[in-house]
Amino acid sequence: MMEEEELEFVEELEAVLQLTPDVQLAIEQVFPSQDPLDRADFNAVEYINTLFPTEQSLANIDEVVNKIRLKIRRLDDNIRTVVRGQTNVGQDGRQALEEAQKAIQQLFGKIKDIKDKAEKSEQMVKEITRDIKQLDHAKRHLTTSITTLNHLHMLAGGVDSLEAMTRRRQYGEVANLLQGVMNVLEHFYKYMGIPQIRQLSERVKAAQTELGQQILADFEEAFPSQGTKRPGGPSNVLRDACLVANILDPRIKQEIIKKFIKQHLSEYLVLFQENQDVAWLDKIDRRYAWIKRQLVDYEEKYGRMFPREWYMTERIAVEFCHITRTELAKIMRTRAKEIEVKLLLFAIQRTTNFEGFLAKRFSGCTLTDGTLKKLESPPPSTNPFLEDEPAPEMEELAMEKGDLDQPKKPKAPDNPFHGIVSKCFEPHLYVYIESQDKNLGELIDRFVADFKAQGPPKPNTDEGGAVLPSCADLFVYYKKCMVQCSQLSTGEPMIALTTIFQKYLREYAWKILSGNLPKTTSSSGGLTISSLLKEKEGSEVAKFTLEELCLICSILSTAEYCLATTQQLEEKLKEKVDVSLIERINLTGEMDTFSTVISSSIQLLVQDLDAACDPALTAMSKMQWQNVEHVGDQSPYVTSVILHIKQNVPIIRDNLASTRKYFTQFCIKFANSFIPKFITHLFKCKPISMVGAEQLLLDTHSLKMVLLDLPSIGSQVVRKAPASYTKIVVKGMTRAEMILKVVMAPHEPLVVFVDNYIKLLTDCNTETFQKILDMKGLKRSEQSSMLELLRQRLPAPPSGPEGSSSLSLLAPTPEQESSRIRKLEKLIKKRL
């Protein structure tokens, strides 16, 4: 019973001593301890196992028990001491609380006394400073009144003096006084309700009006609109009057400038009237020489009369430009039929030179916003790859070399006067465009005549196919026209010039390139009378000569050069033309035309080599392969094919050395044409014996090696063939080898033969299988069972099996097709 009570007491004690995690964490922070007995998750069993890990350690159990008892005794003493020390804590706490409350009450009393004293002090200060504030307000008002009275005195005296000086035309004193009066009057704007102030303001306005009218009258008297200019230099009165006009209404200044410039240029309108001989374009230099003399004369006589900030010299030049542009436009409309290209270019050149002279002399600050909107400089480019545009000479050289593929930064116009006069020539630039159309037509005709006279280019086996020199001449001329036209206008005339460029790019492609490609007698794989005659006579098909092959390669290289340079020409045109017209510059059609010439040239080269190999393939299909008794070296037809390849390919490669990618295209197209044709002729070799099949396999392997070496055949420098080309050759010729291996395999047992066919040929079908059976010389009765077995073992097609089977029933078999072709050949030969 005692033990049970002790256990219950322990459980109750543990329940009471279960502390929350926050309390336990606080205790650990205040009293850190490494003793396992102080841990919240203390486990007695683990602690005992730690003390006695082995049976031998039980020998020290008495010593451990004594230590624990000693520790318990010490803990009891500590607990007893703490409990005794807390006996009087409650009483001490109550006493301390009472003392604190008393201290707080005393503090509140002191704070109240301080607050009462502060309120009394504030009231005392307000009473002391009330009189001081009144004195400050009185001083401020008095100062304002004195200042206003002084301004009023100055204003009244200034108005009287202003009126007196105006009557005496003392403009030098008026300029200084008027500005001061206007500044003083600004202080009285809030007092305009006072009649006297309003009256003074009206007197000032009246004086300004009178000054303006008086100054205009003085200038009219000095520089009358009718008659000649007053002799002698300008007076000091007018110079001071200009200073006064700077202060008056801006309209007075504009009226003075307008009248003076009009009077100064009145002689120009008389000298260069429309009916005068010097008014025509051929004497346009005299106009610009006259204004230069007038500007020098103005600087000498009137340079000090007008303020520098009026920019009178520049204003005279600008007004002269406007008048000249209007007059030239009028006379050119009247005498449009007399305008010739040389005369127009002469006038434009002299005009642009004069505009350049103005840009060097003046800043262009007097040009109005609406004068030349196109002269605004474009926003700075954020493209880091744009470079400064080179000099015209370097740019032309780059065009000749075809090195214009880098984008150029649009050049900001550095001449604010560009187009201020020359814009009048833009409506008449059609004369220039028509002239360039005529010149380009003559240039193309000359190219055609030169080509016929000089003949095709000489064979070139060292540096690659020569580009026709005429194409470089054409693009150099294009460059010259483009630069010249962009200096005249960047608007619609540039679009018209682009249309002319497009026209003659197409003509060059048709007349010079396509028109001079050699003509073939028969197309690849076609059947014509001439080919049948040559086959009947036992001769080879006509081939291109060495000169013709070189010509084709030269035309291909020229078309490639034209294609690249046309693209660069399009980019340069877009840089020269206005931003709003860029979308109308498009030479894609012309680039497609040159691409077509390239494709046609490659196709001609492929057809020529392909046709040269046809007799050898025909000879292969006509051999009696069932009578071959032993396997020897490669057959004669293989030697013939290799001979033709070695004759043509090195010439083509050497002449296309500068355009390797198109030589690679030639190789790929030839492989795609020759290999299927070889396999077609391979199927015609029937029947074939085992030895004949082995000989054909050897020949096929020889052709495969030659085709793999085709890009570098006959070359001293051996290069690895392109991967795309090698893949085509390996795939096609491997299929031919697999066909021969199936032919060589025994056809019994049937299942093994059919499975072998399916395994070797990935694109297996019944048509190919039937051709292989024909090559083996099997009878139709034997083929039917094998075909049926093949259909059973072939995997089902992914979709539409019924449709495909019905189509195969409707389509003629290869035997029917070949018999029809043979009948047609026999019929044509018989008639011939």
Residue pLDDT, tens place only, 38-72: 777 778 888 888 878 887 777 888 888 888 888 88
**Structure confidence at residue 528 (pLDDT):** 38
Question: Is 216 in contact with 256 (CB distance < 8 Å)?
Answer: yes
The answer to the question of residue 475 being in a domain is: yes
> What percent of the chain has pLDDT above 90?
15
Higher pLDDT, 187 or 277: 277
Q: Does residue 112 have a pLDDT over 70?
A: yes
Please indicate, yes or no, whether residues 718 and 789 belong to a single structural domain of this protein. no
- Three-class HEC string of 439-504: HHHHHHHHHHHHHHHHCCCCCCCCCCCCCCHHHHHHHHHHHHHHHHHHHHCCCHHHHHHHHHHHHH
Residue 588 sits in a domain whose CATH number is: 1.10.357.50
The per-residue pLDDT for 591 is: 93
Q: What is the pLDDT of residue 606?
A: 92
**pLDDT higher for 780 or 380?**
780
Please tell me the distance from the alpha carbon of residue 162 to that of residue 160, in angstroms, as a whole number.
5
In this structure, of 143-152, 335-344, 518-527, 560-569, the range with the lowest mean pLDDT score is 518-527
Query: Average pLDDT for residues 254-259, to the nearest whole number?
Result: 83
> Do 421 and 328 meet the contact criterion of CB atoms below 8 Å apart?
yes
| Secondary structure percentages of the chain, helix, strand, coil, to 5 | 75, 0, 25
Q: Among the listed ranges 14-23, 543-552, 798-807, which one has the minimum average pLDDT value?
A: 798-807
- pTM exceeds 0.75, yes or no: no
- Please give the residue range of the domain that contains residue 571: 431-518+545-598
Portion of the chain with pLDDT greater than 70, in percent: 81
Contacts of 562 (CB under 8 A, 6+ apart): 471, 475, 505, 508, 509, 513, 594
Give the pLDDT confidence score for residue 560 in this predicted structure: 92
Digit-coded pLDDT (tens) for 476-533: 988 888 888 887 778 888 888 899 999 999 999 999 898 888 886 544 444 333 443 3
DSSP string, 62-78: HHHHHHHHHHHHHHHHH
Q: How does pLDDT run across 615-642, given as a tens digit for each residue?
A: 999 998 888 888 888 888 888 999 999 9
pLDDT-derived band at 459, boundaries 50, 70, 90: low
CB atoms under 10 Å from CB of 241, counted, come to 27
Please state which of the ranges 9-13, 146-150, 193-197, 531-535 shows the lowest mean pLDDT.
Answer: 531-535
Rg (CA), the chain: 55
Question: Residue 327 and residue 292: Cα distance in Å, rounded?
Answer: 18
Q: 108, 129, 150: which is the final residue of a domain?
A: 129
pLDDT of res. 797: 56
CB 734 within 8 A of CB 701: no
Q: pLDDT confidence of 398, banded at 50, 70, 90? A: very low
Q: Both tokens of residue 760? A: 């070797």
Give the pLDDT of residue 812.
43
Q: Identify whether residues 678 and 657 lie together within a single domain.
A: yes
| Beta carbons of 437 and 444 less than 8 angstroms apart | no
- Mark whether 447 and 592 lie in a shared domain: yes
| 631 and 570 belong to one structural domain | no
Same structural domain, 289 and 436: no
Reduced to 3 states, what is the DSSP secondary structure of residue 408?
Answer: strand
Confidence (pLDDT) at 467: 85
The helix/strand/coil state of 202 is: helix
Q: What is the pLDDT of residue 817?
A: 43
pLDDT 10s digits, 89-100: 777 778 888 888
* Residues 175, 243 contacting (CB under 8 angstroms): yes
593 in the same domain as 489: yes
Mention every residue, 6+ apart, whose C-beta is less than 8 A from residue 791. Answer: 766
Q: Are residues 553 and 691 in the same domain?
A: no
- Same-domain pairing of 435 and 582: yes
Average pLDDT score over the chain: 78
Pair 105, 4 in one domain: yes
- 807-813-819 Cα angle (round to 5): 145
Could you tell me if residue 606 is inside a domain?
Answer: no
Q: Please check whether residues 682 and 782 belong to one and the same domain.
A: no
Reduce the secondary structure of 159-179 to three states and give it as a string: HHHHHHHHHCCCHHHHHHHHH
Q: At residue 371, does pLDDT exceed 50?
A: no
Is there a single domain that holds both residue 460 and residue 333? no
- Predicted local confidence at residue 775, as pLDDT: 85
Number of structural domains (the chain) is 5
- Other beta carbons within 10 angstroms of residue 738's beta carbon come to 17
Q: How far is CA 20 from the centre of its chain?
A: 70
Q: Does 469 have pLDDT greater than 60?
A: yes
pLDDT at residue number 523: 40
Q: How far is CA 521 from the centre of its chain?
A: 47
Q: Give the residue, 83 or 534, on which the prediction is more confident.
A: 83
**CB 488 within 8 Å of CB 497:** no
How does residue 787 score in pLDDT terms, banded at 50, 70 and 90?
confident
Answer yes or no: is 821 within a domain.
no
Better pLDDT: 112 or 536: 112
Which residues lie below 8 Å from residue 83, measured CB to CB, with a gap of 6+?
A: none
312 lies in a domain?
Answer: yes
- Quick: pLDDT tens for 554-595: 999 999 999 999 999 999 999 888 888 889 999 999 999 999
Q: Which is more confident, 679 or 632? A: 679
What's the pLDDT band for 271 if we cut at 50, 70, 90?
A: confident
Residues 591 and 452 in one domain: yes
pLDDT at 403 over 70: no
Q: Does the residue 248 lie in any domain?
A: no
Residue 393 in domain: no
Higher model confidence: residue 717 or residue 75?
Answer: 75
Give a yes or no: residue 660 inside a domain. Answer: yes
Give the other-Cβ count within 10 Å of 830's Cβ.
7
Predicted pLDDT of residue 368: 60
- What is the pLDDT at residue 595? 93
Amino acid of residue 691: V
The confidence score (pLDDT) of residue 800 equals: 44
For residue 565, being part of any structural domain is answered with yes
Q: What is the pLDDT of residue 685?
A: 87
Q: How confident is the model at residue 217 (pLDDT cuts 50, 70, 90)?
A: confident
Q: Are 542 and 694 in contact (CB under 8 A)?
A: no
pLDDT tens digits, residue range 168-197? 777 767 767 776 777 776 777 777 777 777
- For 593-602, 639-648, 718-727, which range has the lowest pLDDT when averaged over its residues? 718-727
More confident residue, 150 or 138: 138
Cis amide leading into 384 (omega within 30): no
